[in-house]
Amino acid sequence: MPGKLTDFETHGEDIHHDNEEIISCIMDLWQLLPDQDRELLKAVEIDLLEHTGYAKQLHINLSTVKSKVHSV
């Protein structure tokens, strides 16, 4: 329908603002963690990014990659 706004166009600013608030809260909590826990979370996030990239490259579901990695 011409002229009709999408959900993102009508709610995009709210979503963006909510994301900024969530990120701010996460960063505040992140600073409270001991260094060892922060390093562990970084490693988990890097691992997830690698798995996601691998799944996209092979055009397979991320859960398939995870199940194969955890079964090794």
SS (H, E, C) 7-19: HHHHHHHHHHHHH
State the total domains in the chain.
2
Please give the model's pTM, rounded to 2 decimal places: 0.45
DSSP 72: -
* One domain, residues 22 and 2: yes
Q: What is the pLDDT of residue 34?
A: 93
* One domain, residues 18 and 38: no
DSSP 33: S
Residues of the domain holding 25: 1-32
* One domain, residues 39 and 17: no
Determine the length of the chain.
72
* One domain, residues 38 and 67: yes
pLDDT digits (tens, 9 = 90+) for 14-53: 666 677 888 888 888 888 999 998 888 888 877 887 888 8
Q: How confident is the model at residue 71 (pLDDT cuts 50, 70, 90)?
A: low
Which residues, in sequence order, are CB contacts of 38 under 8 Å at separation 6+?
30
Chain centroid, CA 57 distance in Å: 18
Give the angle 10-8-53 at the CA atoms, nearest 5°.
Answer: 165
